[in-house]
Chain A
Amino acid sequence: QKEVEQNSGPLSVPEGAIASLNCTYSDRGSQSFFWYRQYSGKSPELIMFIYSNGDKEDGRFTAQLNKASQYVSLLIRDSQPSDSATYLCAVNSGNTPLVFGKGTRLSVIA
């Protein structure tokens, strides 16, 4: 059974701080890793994806992947109240459906 684990939160950070969201996965054959943001009552929207070990930056977001340790993280710099949402980690092992974690709820306090 392929699993993706996330801390459910809530993770509370003050406005302007760095939010760090973590995810571990069980399948060593996983090839691609995705972070989705989901606002309450809305559908998930893709914000980052990463395929290779190391860091990938996109604006205020940085995804970090460590395949040896089987974890992937998302850093949000200069957190804003509009970043308050649930963040879903998803993992793909080739041509199989994505396996999603249950999400971490982030609350950015103004």
Chain B
Amino acid sequence: DVKVTQSSRYLVKRTGEKVFLECVQDMDHENMFWYRQDPGLGLRLIYFSYDVKMKEKGDIPEGYSVSREKKERFSLILESASTNQTSMYLCASLSSGVQPQHFGDGTRLSIL
């Protein structure tokens, strides 16, 4: 079974802090994704990566950056956290082509 592990289940940070969300997958998948999910808005893609050191902007990249130094790890960075970034963050990976995506358990992030 594919295992996608997010470093924290719940996280509370203060406005202005730099926040790191970590995601690790154990199936040598090429593709990794970061989403946020808010009530009524569905899943929204923030950034994705097709390979090491490669990144692509999703639908809502503003206020975020990412890092993929190793194939198994994809980090989401909130450069200066703001209250409107309070959300559930979901990481996903997939091997290639038309295969299904597998999600981590999610990180519920609160910015105070």
Contacts and interface: CB of A to CB of B under 8 A. Distances in A.
B61 to A, nearest CB: 13
Interface string B36-59: 000011110100101000000010
A102 B97 contact: no
Interface of A: 31-32, 34, 36, 41-46, 49, 51, 88, 90, 92, 94-95, 97-98, 100-103
A41 to B, nearest CB: 8
Interface stretch (B11-19, B64-72, B75-83, B99-107): B99-107
Interface residues of B, number: 22
Interface string B79-103: 0000000000010000011111111
Interface of B: 33, 40-43, 45, 48, 50, 58, 90, 96-106, 108
Max chain A CB contacts within 10 Å: which of B41, B90, B102, B103? B103
A102 B42 contact: yes
A97 B98 contact: no
A44 B4 CA distance: 12
